């Protein structure tokens, strides 16, 4: 097939998004968290994939679109924390607009704890912009 409908992974496959990729890479290098927001199908997942791949750090990714349970979400979070003792880890949370839908997960306190105590974990939130 000539054109894939999947999100892109490589910079050479991504058209006209150098600025966005650099912005995300900059944030990652400064250990800042970043949100990639925009309309559906505009290329958010692709831009985040390429930037994180280019950064060369460990990527841990969860897509909340596929009905992520509390256990799955917490397990991925634990993986990110565990890996961060030896590596810089980029935790990509795709379709982050569904975060409030994961039953029983207190996201504000989880993120507060992650931000304060796990400085080797940078979070990239990818989501459809609400409002
Ligand atoms: N800059 C781009 N260059 C080439 N293909 C792109 C670009 N942005 C998006 N696409 C393609 O468009 C489709 C939607 O991209 P995706 O990253 O899944 O968007 P989103 O996450 O915003 O819904 C995919 O097939 C992807 O490969
Ligand atoms: Mg997407």
Cα–ligand 2 centroid distance for 98 (angstroms): 12
Closest ligand 1 atom number to CA of residue 17: 1
Q: Considering every ligand atom shown, identify the ligand nearest to the alpha carbon of residue 4 and give its number.
A: 1
Selection from 126, 129, 120, 131 nearest residue 7 by Cα: 126
**Ligand 1 centre and the CA of 42: distance in Å?**
6
**What is the per-residue pLDDT for 103?**
84
How far does CA 115 lie from the centroid of its chain? 14
Query: Hey, how many other C-beta atoms are within 10 angstroms of the C-beta on 106?
Result: 10
Return the ligand 1 atom nearest residue 49 CA.
17
8-state DSSP, 120: T
Contact 58, 87 (CB under 8 A): yes
Instruction: Name residues whose C-beta falls within 8 Å of residue 81's C-beta, 6 or more positions apart in sequence.
Output: 114, 118, 121
User: Which protein residue has the closest C-alpha to ligand 1 atom 9?
Assistant: 43
pLDDT of the chain, 131 residues: tens digit per residue = 567 789 999 999 999 999 999 999 999 999 999 999 999 999 999 999 999 999 999 999 999 988 899 999 999 999 999 999 999 999 999 999 999 989 888 889 999 999 999 999 999 999 998 65
Q: Give the separation between CA 39 and CA 31, rounded to whole angstroms.
A: 26
3-state secondary structure of 40: coil
pTM reported for the whole predicted model: 0.94
For residue 1, the model assigns a pLDDT of 55
CA 48 to ligand 1: nearest atom: 17
> What are the structural domains, with CATH classification, of the chain?
11-128 (3.40.50.300)
């Amino acid at each position: 097939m000539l054109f894939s409908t999947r999100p892109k992974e490589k910079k050479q496959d991504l058209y006209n998004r150098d600025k966005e990729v650099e912005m995300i890479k900059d944030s990652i290098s400064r250990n800042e968290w970043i949100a990639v927001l925009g309309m559906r199908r505009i290329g958010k997942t692709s831009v985040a994939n390429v930037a994180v791949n280019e950064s060369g750090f460990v990527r841990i990714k969860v897509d909340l679109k596929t009905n992520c349970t509390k256990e799955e979400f917490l397990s991925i979070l634990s993986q990110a924390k565990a890996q961060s003792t030896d590596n810089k880890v980029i935790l990509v949370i795709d379709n982050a607009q569904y975060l409030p839908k994961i039953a029983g997960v207190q996201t504000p306190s989880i993120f507060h704890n992650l931000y304060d105590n796990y400085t080797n974990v940078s979070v990239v939130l990818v989501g459809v912009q609400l409002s």
